[in-house]
Structure 1
Amino acid sequence: MVYTRKNQRNLTSAERKAFVNAVLELKRSGVYDEFVRTHIEFYVPDGDDGLRVAHMTPSFLPWHRKFLLEFEQALQKINSRVTVPYWDWTRDRSPASSLWSDDFMGGNGRRGDLQVMTGPFAYAHGNWDLAVEVTEARFLTRDLGRPNDPIALPVAADVDRALADPVYDTAPWDSTSGSGLRNRMEGWTTGLSGSARFRMHNRVHRWVSGVMLGAASVNDPVFWLHHAYIDSLWARWQAAHPKSQRYLPATPPPSGDPQHGRVAALHDPMPPWNVAPAALLDHTAIYRYA
């Protein structure tokens, strides 16, 4: 049966509570922290040697689609009716959005140490203790909009510009790719400075800030709502470009190419699941977006 992922602003109070309770149960059981560890392991910069599958690479979108599915299936083992909602940051752009309410994601971090003090994921409430890739602070942190170094969320025009690109990805298949949906969505740029360097997906991580920066960003549950929206945009692009929506590269870069053995082609298995991008192009038999 195909289930629906809803815009978080349209969730009922019961749906919000069910999602939060399932996430907290995953945390209590230790399963949630395994998702954090997985993302850290596969957050490999394109300057490093070896295979990249999660970031700065063509498989950014299918890898995170699979990652979301694994998380959603874990939630559904707790409550079969729970799905991952999405955060449309072109509409809900303020720290006053219902996304950040006390019964859902909780609010901004306090001045000084940026500790989130409200909501179900506040450390003070005893249910959200950061245990993976932390130093001294074990609490959730946020700095929404970064008032001391302001950054704005992407707007609808940014989304439209990305979705208008008819090509999935282009060589050199990394953070320097100048065109293609994947890097327009992931948001790496060259030749710019400051916050202008970061677009789309990357810019949202920086707008939330706190633990949403870096490989351990899964420590903030809003990670899943952000990536569900990214996945929904990929789905929109696929529907809008039916003749050109094929994942690229279709075949592995040849020997001698700087990306040989470093990116996953269409039928190359992506760790840790050994599932190829080709198997994740069509989600419509599993879920849809409302």
Structure 2
Amino acid sequence: MAYVRKDVSTLTRTERRRFVDALLELKRRGEYDEFVRVHIDFYTTDGDDGLRSAHMAPSFLPWHRRFLLELERALRRVDSSVTVPYWDWTRDRTTTSVPWTKDLLGGNGRRSDQQVTTGPFAYSAGHWTIREGVTDGRFLTRDLGRAAAPIELPTRGELQGALDDPVYDAWPWDSTVRKGFRNKLEGWGTGTGSASWRNHNRVHRWVGGVMLGGASVNDPVFWLHHAFVDLQWSRWQRAHHDHRYLPAEPPRATDGQHGRVVARHEKLPPWDETPDRLEDVSRIYRYA
């Protein structure tokens, strides 16, 4: 029977506590840091060599869907009642709203060094030391809204602009493509500042701190954010049920994207799974 992922704003006090406790237990066991390492390892950009499976590619959505499932399975081994909640950043848009509460993820970082000092993931609480990162920082950091150069979270209208595109993705299947749902949701744009960051990407930049790079998994909000992104893929699938993941076939050997993107029936590293098999997860979970 499929379990349910809920809006984080609807969680009861007990559900919040159990979710937080399960995350802290994974951290204590060392399992959580393995997720951080995987995300760093697969943070491949257009300018890098080799396969792009997690970012700037059509498989951005199925890769993170599987990544979320792996984390959720680990959490449910700790507490079978726990699922990953989602954060609707088109509605809960302030630095003091859910999920930035003391009983969930804690609040903003302090001005001097962006260190989060409230909530269960604060360094001072003693349970959330960063051990895998792209810097030597040991504590969780945030800069909600970017105080020095403020930006706003994406609006419902901006998100709808991605959902309205009936095509999943388009050539050249990277961060430069201007057509297709995937990149409009992932959020690589043109220009500078907020104009160049849309939807998913702008949320990472709005949160700031460790959410800015490959080690973004160090902030537990990563999972709530990507659960909401995953929900958008489900909504797009319902709205455009005649359209599927693209490309259906690998780019030809003469194509500059040959060997750089995952086609519908190709395995999605680091798992023995294909985008095709991840398009329908209705038997595993659903969204409330």
* Aligned position for 2:105: 105
Structure 2 CA distance for aligned equivalents of residues 28 and 214 of structure 1 = 23
* Aligned position for 1:90: 90
Segments ≥4 residues shifted beyond 6 Å = none
Structure 2 CA distance for aligned equivalents of residues 84 and 4 of structure 1 = 9
Matched, 1:228 2:227: yes
Deviation track 1:3-62 (CA, whole Å, cap 9, x = no partner) reads 000000000000000000000000000000000000000010111111110000000000
* Aligned position for 1:286: 284
Q: Which amino acid in the other structure matches residue 229 of structure 2?
A: I
From 267, 278, 287, the counterpart of 1:269: 267
Q: How does 1:162-177 map to 2 (within 5 A)?
A: 162-177=162-177
Secondary structure of residue in 2 paired with 1:270: coil
Instruction: Could you tell me which runs of 5 or more consecutive residues in structure 2 were left unpaired when the two chains were aligned.
Output: none
TM (norm. structure 1) is 0.98
* Aligned position for 2:119: 119
- 1:274 to partner: Cα distance: 2.2
Structure 2 CA distance for aligned equivalents of residues 239 and 178 of structure 1 = 22
Deviating more after overlay: 107-116 vs 126-135? 126-135
Structure 1 CA distance for aligned equivalents of residues 227 and 169 of structure 2 = 20
Structure 2 CA distance for aligned equivalents of residues 137 and 230 of structure 1 = 28
Secondary structure of residue in 2 paired with 1:98: coil
* Aligned position for 2:254: 256
* Aligned position for 1:208: 207
Matched, 1:39 2:39: yes
Q: Which amino acid in the other structure matches residue 239 of structure 2?
A: A
| Alpha-carbon contact 2:134-2:214 (below 8 Å) kept | no
Task: Kindly tell me the number of residue pairs found equivalent between the two proteins.
Answer: 288
Structure 2 CA distance for aligned equivalents of residues 49 and 265 of structure 1 = 18
Secondary structure of residue in 2 paired with 1:288: strand
Deviation track 1:241-267 (CA, whole Å, cap 9, x = no partner) reads 1111x1000000001100001000000
Q: Which amino acid in the other structure matches residue 32 of structure 1?
A: Y
Q: Which amino acid in the other structure matches residue 216 of structure 1?
A: A
Deviation track 1:64-117 (CA, whole Å, cap 9, x = no partner) reads 000000000000000001000000000000011031110000000001100000
TM (norm. structure 2) is 0.99
Sequence identity percentage? 63
Structure 2 CA distance for aligned equivalents of residues 39 and 19 of structure 1 = 21
Q: Which amino acid in the other structure matches residue 222 of structure 2?
A: F
Q: Which amino acid in the other structure matches residue 256 of structure 1?
A: T
Q: Which amino acid in the other structure matches residue 268 of structure 2?
A: M
Deviation track 1:205-233 (CA, whole Å, cap 9, x = no partner) reads 00000000010000000000000000000
* Aligned position for 1:25: 25
Structure 2 CA distance for aligned equivalents of residues 13 and 211 of structure 1 = 27
- 1:134 to partner: Cα distance: 4.9
Q: Which amino acid in the other structure matches residue 104 of structure 2?
A: F
Q: Which amino acid in the other structure matches residue 237 of structure 2?
A: Q
- 1:137 to partner: Cα distance: 2.4
| Alpha-carbon contact 2:62-2:278 (below 8 Å) kept | yes
Q: Which amino acid in the other structure matches residue 71 of structure 1?
A: L
Q: Which amino acid in the other structure matches residue 280 of structure 2?
A: D
Structure 2 CA distance for aligned equivalents of residues 159 and 193 of structure 1 = 19
Q: Which amino acid in the other structure matches residue 137 of structure 2?
A: A
| Alpha-carbon contact 2:4-2:286 (below 8 Å) kept | yes
Matched, 1:157 2:157: yes
